[in-house]
Structure formats: C-alpha cells, structure tokens
Amino acid sequence: MLSKILIRLIDKAIIPATLLLASRIISIILISKYLGIDFKITQDGLILQNSYDYLKVNSYSILFMVVVLVIGLGYVVVKALLFHSSHIKPATTAKLFSIKAQSLIQNSYEIYTQGSVWLSYSYLLLILTAVMAMSNLVYPWVFYSILGVSILVTLIFIFDAEEEIKMKKNEEWLDDDQKYLEKPGELE
Amino acid sequence: MKKIFKLGLNGILFFIFLAILVLPIAFIGTMSYEESGNVLSAQDTYDSDSKIKSIGDQDANVPDEVEEFILKLEKEYYQKQLETSDSNETDEETPENEKQTNQMETENDENDEESEKLGN
C-alpha cells in the first residue's frame, strides 16, 4: 500500500539531514568562538551583531556544510564506482569479505536512492547559496565551490548509470538456457 | 476509495520526505543580524533628487516650527547618548572619547545658536 521507494528515500534522508543540521549548529558555534563574534539565541533564531559578522559566519558555516556534503557524496560515489554489486571486481569482493566489510557491496537500488538524497541536498544548497550570493549574504566563492561539487558528482553518477544501463543491455544477450549447466550433486 | 486512501498515505510520505530534505536548508535561514538604527540628523547628506525635504536645503521651505522641532529632538538625542556613555564609561574615559564628547557638545551649541538665529 505504501510506496517502497518513498519509505526508502525517507530512511536514507534521515542521516544526511541530521549530519547537515548538526554541522550547521556546530560550525556556527566554533566559527563564532574562533573569530570572537558574539551571537544571541532568541525566538527568531540566531542573531549576530552586524552584517559583516553575519557574512563571515554564514560563509564559513556553509563551507563546513559543504565539507560534510562532500564526505557523504564521496562515500556514495566510492560505493558506486568501486563496490557496486553489478561491476565489483572479484579480488575486491574477496578482500571485503576477508575484512568483514561485505556490507559495502550494494546494489543499484541502494546506491542510487542514497545518491539521489545527497544530490538533492547538494542542489538545494546550491540554490540557497546562489540567492544568498546575489544578496551579498555569502561570499561568492562558497557558491562556486558548491557549484563545482554538484556538477562533478552529477557527472560521476551519470557515467555510473550509463555503465549500468550498458551492462543490463549486454545481459539481455546472455543465454539463460540452463539445460547444459551442472546442477549441484548431479555428477557425483 | 482504496485508491484515494493509498494516494493520501503516499502524499503524507512524500510530504515527510520533503520536510526532511528542506529542514537543514531552512535552518540556515534562521540566522540573522541586527540592523543598526538610523537616526536622522541635520548634518545628514541628501540627494538633490530626493523628495524628502531637508532643513539643510534652502529651497525646501521647511517651516520654522518643524525645523526647531527637529533640532530639539536632535539635541535630546545627543544629550541622551552623552548620559549613557558617561554612565558606561566613567571609569575608563580615553582621550579620544573626550574629544568626541567635546565635539558633540560644540555641535549642540552650534545647533542651539542656529535655532536661536532662525527663531529671530
């Protein structure tokens, strides 16, 4: 009755959301302390003394979020390129099993749902920083860094998806006739 | 009926998913800064194109009463500022601050003189 994809997406979005939220709060506190900037916590949220302080704290805080985003996206990209169940090398599989890290081997469904959630965050952050950069609320280089990350990761996912589609097409040519295949215990 | 129920449940799920996605991004918007209060002064510069009448503009024909009232308010404002700065910095008053307060006082005196002249 309930959509499995939606449930999966919600499940995969909880950890990134928590990480990004935590990174924002922690980064604001750390950066304010490091730069000696005072801020108040009121009903309206965090309030800084002036626009110059706001620009600094906001920019470095968003950069901190981008670093977390890059780590998350990097994890998914590594899984997609190296540990994808469709094209993982036998040697890598053996190694992963020997170090009991076989959970890293995931199928396309797992990897792409996770990737789509992290990419959504990347695009949302890109849109927000674009608006903020136009309003001089964030340094322009923060926007350019997110733009670079978003483009690069999107391209990697596109190439991986293309490879996956090619493999699926090749599999269609395989003969699924099991007439001459040895069945367990047949030749004993 | 079953389809509508299914659609509703999936709609709720989709809404939850969107809420989770937007939450960290929306949290960025909760940070803001205090804007410094603007105080109008007779010494403020003004644009010639501005529709706002200034007491510094001779062609504006600002009524004397209004001009006097503005100068009075300005005097009160500076006096209040002096009082607050005196109460806050009685222990540590740097020479720069003394210069500033002297400047403010002379400015106020000049304003008084001007208002008297205008009154005459």
- Interface ipTM above 0.95: no
**Does the pLDDT value for residue B93 go beyond 80?**
no
How many Cβ atoms are within 10 Å of A97's Cβ, its own excluded? 11
**Does the pLDDT value for residue B48 go beyond 80?**
no
How high is the pLDDT of residue B90? 63
Q: Do A37 and A53 contact (CB within 8 A), yes or no?
A: yes
To the nearest whole Å, the CA of B35 is away from the closest chain A CA by 6
Option in A3, A10, A21 nearest B27 (CB): A21
Option in B9, B17, B27 nearest A1 (CB): B9
User: Which chain A residues are closer than 8 Å to B22 by Cβ?
Assistant: 124
Average pLDDT, chain A: 88
User: If you average pLDDT over each of A42-56, A71-85, A165-179, which comes out highest?
Assistant: A71-85
Option in B6, B13, B25 nearest A10 (CB): B13
Contact B17 A53 (CB under 8 A): no
Q: In what order do the strands lie in the sheet with A39-42?
A: A39-42, A45-48, B32-33
**Does the pLDDT value for residue A170 go beyond 90?**
no
Q: Do A24 and A63 contact (CB within 8 A), yes or no?
A: no
CA A10, CA A6: separation in Å to the nearest integer? 6
- A85-to-A1, A80, A103 alpha-carbon distances in Å: 29, 9, 11
H or E element, residue A50: none
CA B28, CA A54: separation in Å to the nearest integer? 12
Q: Does A131 touch chain B (CB under 8 A)?
A: no
Q: A51-55, B43-47, B84-88, B104-108 — which is least confidently predicted?
A: B43-47
